[in-house]
Amino acid sequence: MPNIVVIVSDHLATRAVGAYEESAWADTPHMDRIGARGAVFENMYTSCPLSAPARASFWTGRFPHQTGVLSNGLKGDDPRVVANRSVPEDMPTLGARFSAAGYQTIHFGKTHDSGALRGFEVVPPGERPSEKVPVGYPENSDTWKDTWAMNRFCEWADKGLPEQFLCVVDLQNPHNICGWIGEHSSLDGPVDHPIRPSELPELPANHRVPDWQNLPLPVRYICCSHNRAAQTARYTDEDWRYYIDAFRHYSKMADDHVGTVLQKLEEQGVLDDTLVVMMADHGDGMGSHQMATKHVSFYEEMARVPFMVMGPGVRAGARVDTLTSLLDLFPGLCDYAGIGAPEDLPGVSFAPLLSGGAGERAYVASQWYSEWGCTVSPGRMIRSARYKYTSYLEGSAGGRDPSGGEELYDLQEDRGEMVNLASDPTHRAALLAHRALLQDHLRKEDDPFYSYDVVVDERWRSHEAGYTHHRGPTAVMALNAPS
Ligand code: ZN
C-alpha cells in the first residue's frame, strides 16, 4: 500500500500559489513543483471557510452540521447560539481508518480539530521564536509553531521512515497574516509602510465592490462582525497592496516548509513512491471585494482552495476541472490506498481523477454558521458547473422569503463575482434552478439550515453600507470590552 503525506496550510488562497497561475507575484516554487509533477484541482471547495469547522469536516468527511463543529468557539452565552460540540466519539475518522489498516498515522503541527484527529499520533505542538524577523513582516506564534513542528517532523524523518505511514504536516502559515493586520490596523490611524510602493503587488481586478446594497446583509456588514475586516475597513489602495505583499511573504514561509518535506522524502529515497497532497483548509480574501482573511462570504478567494496531488499513478500536469470538495479527502485517500471508507460519507473519491479520469458532479456545497457566536448568520453555498448561489437566513424571514439574502454569480461571465444576478429577472430560471439544488442538498444531507436562529443586534447593521464607513468596535470587540 502506498505511503501518504498530506500537507495542510491554514488560509492559503489559490491566487498565492504559482501553480494556479492567477497572479504574477506568487512565490511558491515547492508547491508549484507538486502541481507540475502531479494534478492541480481547479475547482476544490471547502465545506466551511473557517478553520475549526473545516478541519473537523475534512478529517471526518462530514459537513459541519454533521460533526457539530459549527464555529471556532463561543464568546458569550446567548441561548439561541448553537454550542460547538466535539466530533462524536463514534464518528469514523481518517486517522482511525488508516491506523486500523496498519499505517503509522502521525500528525505534526496545527490541530484545531475538535477531536477529528482521532487515530493519529499527534505530536504535541510547541513554539520556537524566530531569531531574525524581516522588516515589515511581523511574526507571531503562527510562524513560531511552524518552526517547532518542522523540527519535530525532521527529527522523525531523519530516524528513518516507517514502512507504512500516513503523515500530516499541518502548517499555520500564511495565517500569520491575521497578526499582521493586528499590527497594521487602520482603526489606529494611517498604516505604516516600510516597503516601497513600487515593489508592491497590484490590486486584484475584483477589489472594488460595485453595489453594496445588492449584497446580503451579513456580507454587507462583515466589518461589524469580524475584527480583521474592521481593522482593514479604511485601508487605502496602497495599504491593500501592502497586505497582498505580506500575504505573499507568509505564503512563501509555508512554501519553504513544503520544500523541507519534499527534501526529507527525497533524502529517504521515497519521494517517487509517496502520494503527496498539498491543500488548505480555506482561502483568504486577498483584497478582493475589499476583504481580508475570511468571514461569512463564499467568494472564490475564500471558499475555493488549493489542492494538488503528486505520486504513483498521478498524471503529471493534469488539470482537474471536476467540481470537488474537501469532503472528498477521506473517501479519496481510502480509495487510493485500497482501504474501505465509511459507506455513508457525503464526499466522492477523487482517486479516479488523478490518472486523468473524468468525473461529473452537479454541485458542491459549503456552509457558514458563525465565527465566535457574537453574530450568527447561517448561510449555504451551492456551486454548480456555471454558477455560484448563496442563501443566508438573515433578511429572508427564516428562509420563507429567500430573496432577502441571496447571491447568484455567473462564473463563466463574471469570474470575479462582481455582479449579483439574484434579483435580475433575466436570470430567474438559473436562480430557481439553484434554489432547487439547495433544497436537494438540505434534504440529502439532513441539514437543519432553516431551524437555526439568526443572532445579530441591529447596531451591527446600522451604518451606511460599505466597509469604509465602519467606525468603532465590532460585535466581538464589544463583547470583550469591560462593561
Ligand atoms: Zn461595520
User: What angle (nearest 5°) sits at the alpha carbon of residue 141, between those of residues 137 and 142?
Assistant: 70
The helix (H) or strand (E) run that includes residue 228 is helix 227-231
376: DSSP letter:
B
Residue 105 is assigned to a structural domain of this protein = yes
232 C-alpha to ligand 1 centroid (Å): 11
Cell reading at 69: 463543529
- pLDDT given at position 1: 86
Residue 367 is assigned to a structural domain of this protein = no
Can you tell me the distance from the alpha carbon of 115 to that of 113, in angstroms, rounded to the nearest whole number? Answer: 5
371 C-alpha to ligand 1 centroid (Å): 16
Residue 125 is assigned to a structural domain of this protein = yes
330 C-alpha to ligand 1 centroid (Å): 38
129: DSSP letter:
-
The answer to whether the beta carbons of residues 206 and 288 sit under 8 Å apart is yes
The answer to whether the beta carbons of residues 376 and 369 sit under 8 Å apart is yes
Q: Give the closest residue to 208 by CA, choosing from 231, 237, 179.
A: 237
Can you tell me the distance from the alpha carbon of 472 to that of 194, in angstroms, rounded to the nearest whole number? Answer: 27
- pLDDT given at position 172: 98
The answer to whether the Cα torsion of 217, 223, 224, 228 is positive or negative is: positive
136 C-alpha to ligand 1 centroid (Å): 27
Residue 58 is assigned to a structural domain of this protein = yes
Domain that holds residue 81: 3-356
- pLDDT given at position 483: 52
Can you tell me the distance from the alpha carbon of 32 to that of 224, in angstroms, rounded to the nearest whole number? Answer: 37
User: For the chain, give me the number of helices (H) and strands (E)?
Assistant: 15, 14
Residue 394 is assigned to a structural domain of this protein = no
467 C-alpha to ligand 1 centroid (Å): 6
From first to last of its 483 residues, what are the pLDDT tens digits of the chain?
899 999 999 999 999 999 999 999 999 999 999 999 999 999 999 999 999 999 999 999 999 999 999 999 999 889 999 989 999 999 999 999 999 999 999 999 999 999 999 999 999 999 999 999 999 999 999 999 999 999 999 999 999 999 999 999 999 999 999 999 999 999 988 998 888 888 899 999 999 999 999 999 999 999 999 999 999 999 999 999 999 999 999 999 999 999 999 999 999 999 999 999 999 999 999 999 999 999 999 999 999 999 999 999 999 999 999 999 999 999 999 999 999 999 999 999 999 999 988 888 999 999 999 999 999 999 999 999 999 999 999 999 988 999 999 999 999 999 999 999 999 999 999 999 999 999 999 999 999 999 999 999 999 999 999 999 999 999 999 987 765
372 C-alpha to ligand 1 centroid (Å): 17
34 C-alpha to ligand 1 centroid (Å): 40
Phi first, then psi: give them for residue 58, nearest 5 degrees: -80, -25
- Specify the pTM: 0.97
221 C-alpha to ligand 1 centroid (Å): 5
Q: Which residues pair with residue 5 across a beta bridge?
A: 167, 276
The helix (H) or strand (E) run that includes residue 150 is helix 141-158
Can you tell me the distance from the alpha carbon of 420 to that of 291, in angstroms, rounded to the nearest whole number? Answer: 17
466 C-alpha to ligand 1 centroid (Å): 8
CATH number, domain of 117, equals: 3.40.720.10
106 C-alpha to ligand 1 centroid (Å): 43
175 C-alpha to ligand 1 centroid (Å): 23
- For the chain, what's the residue count? 483
Residue 385 is assigned to a structural domain of this protein = no
Query: Residue 20 in 3-state DSSP?
Result: helix
213 C-alpha to ligand 1 centroid (Å): 14
pLDDT per position as a tens digit, 204-214: 999 999 999 99
Helix (H), strand (E), coil (C) string for 400-429? CCHHHHEEEEECCCCCCCCCCCCCCHHHHH
Q: How many domains does the chain have?
A: 1
Cell reading at 139: 511574526
The helix (H) or strand (E) run that includes residue 309 is strand 307-310
Residue 382 is assigned to a structural domain of this protein = no
